[in-house]
Amino acid sequence: MKGIVREDFAEHFRILLLATLVGLIGGLTSIFFTYLINFFQSLFWGESASFLAQVEKKSWILIILLPALGGLLVGPLVYFGAREAKGHGVPEVMESMLLKGGIIRKRVAFIKALASSICIGSGGSTGREGPIVQISASLASTIGQIFKIKERGMKTLVASGVAAGIAGTFNAPIAGAMFAVEIVLGEFGVASFTPIVVASVIATLTTHYFVGDFAAFKVPKYTLISVWEIGPYILLGLVSGLVAIFFIKILYLSEDKWDKLKFPDFLKPAIGGLIIGFIGLKFPHIFGVGYESIDKALYNQIPFIFAFLLIFIKIISTSFTLGSGGSGGVFAPSLFMGAMTGNFIGQIFHHYFPNVISPPGAYALVGMGAVVAAATHAPITAIIIIFELTNDYKIILPLMLTCIISSFITINLKEESIYTLKLKHKGIIFKEGKEINILRSLFVKDILSQDYKTFLNTQKIGEIIDQAISGRYSVFHVVNKNNEICGVITLNQLKSGIYQKDLIDSLVIAEDIAIPEITLDYNDNLEKAMELFGKHDLEEIPVTKDGKFVGVVKRRDLIEAYNNEIAKREAIQGLVSKLKFTHEAKSIEIGHGIVIEEMNSPPSFWNKTLRDLNLKANYGIEIILIKRKYPPLTIPLPASNEIIRKGDILILAGPRESINRLLTNPSKFS
């Protein structure tokens, strides 16, 4: 026992030391990424103290074309370099934590930094916080891989990278730690929280040393003039929640429409950039991260109607930038929308009640936190970020109230946050943990058993008791003459009637005591099966297909299938990094009847997505890696929308029998 404790302490201490290194690298990375954005912004628009003033000096044709040029550079960089660098950044980190044990490809940090800085610098309407989260997390994952950290420690290390990135960007160590725990890690424990705090503090100290004790925004002095202000703040919370919901809906609607557009993916960001350029002719405030415009809202330098319009223009422009394939975050756009929403509401109330209502800048500041809280479903993180920006305790009361109201609105009207909705579209439920996602990938038909006992619905209870007591089953399935399930009877039910068997034998038949509506469909996944097992204390559940009873699912078989899937995934993750560096044919046994095989993509697979082929659901086969000769590219654990091309080399994992059939006659699998 002492040896185990000593070993655990050594591992925790090692994670703590590595978290210190991650904090240092995260702080330096946040500084470098900011300079990289400024470099490309100067390259595209020229150097100036005011970005908006510099944009206004450009000709209309350059304002339109420069964002398109940025998109033209970003598209191929992401498409051929690292697909994970497309979009927000935070959902991709959450996915790696949930399904890949915190493993992130080493190239992601470089591609994400370059793609996002070009996108933002050229005028793309996105933020820098999402990218810095993914960049720092990727670097932390690389460090973990170098030192061969185990899965739980790897997740803690990646979360430490997330905290370091946010802390270094905002000069907000508490907010960085809370962002990592509340949004990315999804759980709290002292063993994991300690390294996260250490990384966050080290990142903040690093930026202090090289940049100084800076403020992300120029925040005016805040005062709560009157208790009557609580009313407008409540309204701000309600409106902020609705703004966040509208943003989430438009963003994912845009992504869906762009994904369906029949056009080369690596050219879509250029088209998106062209649209952003046209919007920027009238509303240059939407270009880039928008911090300068947020400062103007905080100091009430934005006209009343213009602030209102900018809320919706920013939603549309950010949705076009990210939907088309641009690279950047949604955190800064959420701050922007919140500032404009708060400024708009603040101007209304301050105009009519100047003596009891604070200046609009106060409402802009609180609105920033409210929209972030609503969009991310993380009110604690939002409250702490705004508090650390102001260092003013007086703002806490309206800030807490507004953030809680806005997040309450979105959580009840929109189940998923702006981050988790992207995962849900891939079939990943972040809040429920890895177990649910694995169960969703397994199906009832794969573990169907024919080991069961049935009774006709018309059989007398005495006959049923005699057979059941002398048998080995604890659950019995009642069917009618058409083999349709009528319900189930448990052994415990029958035991209670043993002493009254002679009395009730002529009065009761099987259908009278059968428990109805406990059935699974042949095509259901094992998540539903697990829900039924949890709700009803049964060892097996009947399965129907087209209304007919076809077999049962046993609890022990479900658990065994889950454990086998866990073992298979762990083996696959361990082999992916090795397989992607070789072009030699492979055929590897990984246990539990599962093999990994390498094959050239057959013609029947060309130009089809993994979703179209549906090999996992139909045959239990997964494509775990795609290798391409031109351009040089490896895609581990490819997404369902990945298109198989001529010349691709596919790494398959699945039952040997299914893979052998696929190799022999691939056309039958398409």
pLDDT confidence of 585, banded at 50, 70, 90?
very low
99 within a domain of the structure (yes/no):
yes
For residue 153, pLDDT over 50 is answered with yes
pLDDT at 241 > cutoff 60: yes
Q: Do 369 and 255 share a structural domain?
A: yes
Same domain membership, residue 184 and residue 134: yes
Residues 40 and 124 in one domain: yes
How does residue 584 score in pLDDT terms, banded at 50, 70 and 90? very low
On the question of pLDDT at 149 being above 50, the answer is yes
Which of 11-20, 241-250, 472-481, 501-510 is predicted least confidently?
A: 501-510
Q: Are residues 413 and 467 in the same domain?
A: no
Distance between CA atoms of 462 and 16, rounded to whole angstroms?
A: 67
Q: What is the CATH number of the domain that holds 481?
A: 3.10.580.10
pLDDT above 70: residue 639: no
Pair 17, 102 in one domain: yes
CA 78 remoteness from chain centre: 19
Domain contains 256: yes
- The rounded mean pLDDT for the chain is 83
**Does one domain contain both 426 and 491?**
no
Q: What is the mean pLDDT of residues 641-656?
A: 83
Domain boundary among 168, 183, 211: 211
Cβ partners under 8 Å of residue 569, min gap 6: 99, 438
Specify the number of domains making up the chain: 4
Domain enclosing residue 7, as ranges: 2-211
Judge whether 502 and 527 are in contact, CB under 8 Å: no
Six token digits for residue 560: 């065994």
Are 388 and 242 in a shared domain?
A: yes
Share above pLDDT 70 across residues of the chain, in percent, rounded to a whole number? 87
> What digits encode the pLDDT tens for the residues 157-169?
999 999 999 998 8
Last-in-domain residue among 400, 416, 432: 432
**Does a structural domain hold residue 272?**
no
Mark whether 326 and 241 lie in a shared domain: yes
Average pLDDT over residues 405-411: 93
Q: With respect to residue 587, please indicate whether it lies within any of the assigned structural domains.
A: yes
- Let me know if residue 17 belongs to a domain: yes
Last residue of a domain, one of 380, 410, 432: 432
5: pLDDT confidence band, cut at 50, 70 and 90? very low
- Amino acid identity for residue 87 in this structure: G
Residues 175 and 308 in one domain: no
Q: Do 28 and 141 share a structural domain?
A: yes
Say what the pLDDT of residue 502 is: 61
Per residue in 30-88, pLDDT (tens digit) is: 999 999 999 999 999 988 778 888 888 889 999 999 999 999 999 999 888 888 788 78
Per-residue pLDDT, averaged over 522-550, amounts to 85
CB-based contacts of 501-504 (< 8 A; 24+ apart in sequence): 501/461, 501/462, 501/465, 502/462, 504/461, 504/462
- Tell me, what CATH number does 330's domain have? 1.10.3080.10
pLDDT value of residue 283: 93
Same domain, 103 and 201: yes
Is residue 47 domain-resident? yes
Backbone angles phi, psi at 545, to 5 degrees: -135, 120
Tens of pLDDT along 550-578? 999 988 888 788 777 766 666 665 555 45
- Per the domain annotation, does 276 fall within a domain? no
User: Does 582 have pLDDT greater than 80?
Assistant: no
The whole-model pTM stands at 0.72
Residues 248 and 160 in one domain: no
pLDDT digits (tens, 9 = 90+) for 168-187: 888 888 888 988 888 887 66
- Would residue 571 count as lying in a domain? no
CATH number at residue 596: 3.30.70.1450
Contacting residues for 560 by C-beta, under 8 A, at least 6 apart: 447
Residue carrying the six token digits 């109805």: 516
Q: What angle do CA 581, 586, 592 make, to 5 degrees?
A: 115
